[in-house]
Amino acid sequence: MLNTARRLLLGSPLPSAEEVHQRLTKAQALAVFSSDALSSVAYATEEILLVLIMAGPAALGLSLPIALAIAGLLAVVATSYYQTIHGYPSGGGAYIVAYDNLGVWPGLIAAAALLIDYVLTVAVSITAGVAAVTSAFPVLYPFRLVLCLLAIACITWANLRGVRESGTLFAIPTYGFVLIILVLIAVGLVRLTTGTLGPMPAQGIPATEDVTQALTLFLILRAFASGCTALTGVEAISNGIPAFRTPEAENAGKTLIAMAVLLVTMFVGLTALSHSFGVIPVEHETVVSQISRHVFGAGPFYLALQVATALILVLAANTSFADFPRLSAILARARYLPRQLTNLGDRLVFANGVVALAVLASGLVVIFGGQTHRLIPLYAVGVFLSFTLSQAGMVRHWRKKRGQGWQWKAVVNGLGAAATGVVLLVIVATKFLRGAWMVILLIPGFVWVFHAIKRHYLNVAAQLSLEGLSPEKWAGLASRKRYKVVVPVSGMHQGTLAALRFARSLSKDVTAVVVDVDPQVTDRMQEKWALWGHGVPLVVLESPYRSTIGPLLAYLDAIDQQEPEKELAMVVLPEFVTAQWWQDLLHGQTARLIKRALIYRRGQTGKDRVIVDVPYHLRQ
């Protein structure tokens, strides 16, 4: 029954042979890999304004220079990643580049930063996407948390079924979003210069408690740090190079340039419009929605942009649902994470990683009340840490490789590393108290966990290893005479008989034991034993505290000591299996509890024990 539900929900299993990779054209790849980066223009401008507004509306004018500075930074980062693409044509994620070139610890730090980042990408994108929807439909605003969780559930479901990164499917929302934003900027700028559109009317209370701060350098840097979320996702293309058509690296490089140009245009354009219109960030409507409504009016164009924004943000979240399970699987294969994360489920997806990401992201969304701007201070730390490590790794890479013009390449990546490193410091300094501290504590925490897991696996491998053992020694068999067979019984029925018969076929040394929880039952048992026991002795164990397991374990320990010539105790458990799962609730789980206790608690003498389960199936 469970299986049928599973089939309906997730589809039939896919054979391993179907795991093929589609090659993408540049246009398709742009859609697939840049949704994360491009979608950030939906909230980046707003995050700058939300900081500046604290120093009063006049300070909002600084948003344009800040956006231009971020655009400059983007140019540096994009150039640096252009080189990474050519240096690691097989795909150079921050973890791989840092691990290869800087060593284990920087690699693990990058991995921790990336994992945290993927979770935050989902949380931020989904909350921002829901904000786009509730801006258009304010009636949904009170339900934003539920909408966020529903959206995550849908993406999770799609990924458990296994969405292929289909270029054509992804192209519609991504290009739709880009197109409408570009039209919006163009129309807005034309109407501004022709004077047919003035500043916006006042929009009510700004979305901040406090508009009386001084416009300090710290505040400006904080606004810059908040705006840097525009750069998240820029690295995606460099991870995905193998998905491009040949020549892979060249095509990927061109796509990266196209993405950077689009991103700068949209981000600076939107910031310029918001500045010219005097947009003030408010709680119930996003800045982009305000601009769009001002330029287009509340018509079909406006609605189309809100829908496209929500869709591209969902795609951005979806990117993490591909990346997080993949990186987890890589780490798990290297034994830094639980090995279950390497299981390719029956739909050819790393299902455990997908579920883990969904749970973590949902948790974050709930904790932060579904508010994008509360999540932002946590967001950029991981991104810029992995940028810095990855580009620093590239510097080492060029130094080791020393191809043609390697010095020049090393300088470009070094510049990138330095720029992102400085920005990282700015982000940490300006957002530490607002939440960045959590990420800064979590990253070493993750690294410690990675390390502890690896140590455990190495430990287990050493304990299980056959190294130094001689096959001859294991060739000998214990005599069955040295097996002691114990059959715990609780009542005289067909299940008991089956277990008893089986036990007697294994050894001559069989003892049945009954734990005396209910004297009446025990008496009846002993009466019937004469007829059905077939010579097997029945031992009654006292149980002053009415526990079944305690006396049984004590008895096994006692026979271990009393009969040292016995090598091993076999415990044969009769267990009847109900015909329907719900009937299971009507029967004590004693057999199951005994099994658990026997497996987990080793006897005092350390003798081996074997647990034998004799199921007896009920027909109805």
Q: How far is the CB of 203 from its own copies (least distance, A)?
A: 32
Q: Is 8 in the site for its own copies (CB under 8 A)?
A: no
What sign results for the dihedral spanned by CA atoms 61, 66, 67, 69? positive
Residue 5 as a binder of its own copies (CB under 8 A): the answer is no
Of 71-79, 120-128, 313-321, 591-599, which segment contacts its own copies by CB under 8 A? 591-599
Nearer to its own copies, 69 or 540 (CB): 540
Q: Is 585 in the site for its own copies (CB under 8 A)?
A: yes
Q: Is 172 exposed, middle or buried (0-12, 13-18, 19+ CB in 10 A)?
A: middle
**Backbone phi, psi, residue 525, to 5°:** -55, -50
Distance of CA 329 to the CA centre of its chain: 11
Distance (Å, rounded) from C-alpha 166 to C-alpha 120?
A: 24
Give CA separation, 410 vs 46, 276, 398, in Å: 35, 41, 6
613 contributes a contact to its own copies by CB under 8 A:
yes
- In the complex, the smallest distance separating the C-beta of residue 594 from its own copies, rounded to whole angstroms, is 12
- By CB under 8 A, tell whether 17 contacts its own copies: yes
Gap between the Cα atoms of 244 and 326, Å rounded: 18
Helices (H), 242-371: 248-277, 287-296, 300-333, 351-367
Long-range contacts of 64-67 (CB under 8 A, 24+ apart): 64/268, 64/271, 64/272, 64/275, 66/220, 66/223, 66/224, 66/227, 66/271, 67/227, 67/267, 67/268, 67/271, 67/272
Least distance CB 438 / its own copies (angstroms): 23
Based on CB atoms, which residue is closest to its own copies, 294 or 607?
607
- Interacting stretch for its own copies, rule CB under 8 A, among 30-38, 63-71, 80-88, 602-610? 602-610
Residues 66-95 contacting its own copies, CB under 8 A: none
Burial (Cβ within 10 Å: 0-12, 13-18, ≥19) of residue 550: middle
By three-state DSSP, how is residue 302 classified? helix
CB of residue 114 to its own copies, shortest distance in Å: 21
Which residues within the stretch 471-500 sit at the binding site for its own copies (CB under 8 A)? 471, 474-475, 477-480, 483, 492-495, 497-498, 500
- Closest approach of its own copies to the CB of residue 15, in Å: 4
* 399 or 596: CB nearest its own copies: 596
Using rule CB under 8 A, residue 520 touches its own copies: no
Per DSSP bridges, beta strands 483-488 and 510-516 are parallel
User: Which residues, 161 to 200, sit near its own copies by CB under 8 A?
Assistant: none
Cα 415 to chain centroid, rounded: 32
The span from the CA of 30 to the CA of 86, in Å, is: 17
Positions in 418-457 near its own copies (CB under 8 A): 453, 456-457
Q: How far is the CB of 355 from its own copies (least distance, A)?
A: 14
Within residues 329-388, the interface with its own copies by CB under 8 A covers: 338-340, 343-346
Report whether 451 contacts 397 (CB < 8 A). no
Distance in Å, CB of 42 to its own copies, minimum: 36
Q: Which of 13, 242, 369, 537 binds its own copies (CB under 8 A)?
A: 13
10 binds its own copies (CB under 8 A): no
- Only segment of 64-72, 142-150, 374-382, 611-619 that touches its own copies (CB under 8 A): 611-619
Position 109: which residue type? I
Closest C-alpha to 243, from 331, 350, 319, 161: 319
- Binding its own copies by CB under 8 A: which of 246, 465, 520, 562? 465
Q: Which of residues 524-563 bind its own copies (CB under 8 A)?
A: 528, 531-532, 534, 544-547
Distance of closest approach, residue 144 Cβ to its own copies, in angstroms: 23
Size of the site for its own copies (CB under 8 A): 78
User: Toward its own copies, which CB reaches closer, 200 or 348?
Assistant: 348
Minimal distance in Å, beta carbon 327 to its own copies? 18
Query: Quick one: 14 or 140, whose CB is closer to its own copies?
Result: 14
Task: Provide the total of helices (H) and of strands (E) in the chain, helices listed first.
Answer: 22, 5
CB of 71 to its own copies, least distance (A): 45
Tell me how far, at minimum, the Cβ of 138 lies from its own copies, in Å. Answer: 26
Angle CA 24–26–29, to nearest 5: 55
Among 7, 400, 401, 501, binds its own copies (CB under 8 A): 501
Query: Which of residues 62 and 614 has its CB atom nearest to its own copies in the complex?
Result: 614
Contact call for residue 212 and its own copies (CB under 8 A): no
Other C-beta atoms closer than 10 Å to the C-beta of 519 total 9
593 binds its own copies (CB under 8 A): no
CA dihedral 388, 390, 391, 395 (to 10 degrees): 130
Query: H or E stretch including 511?
Result: strand 510-516
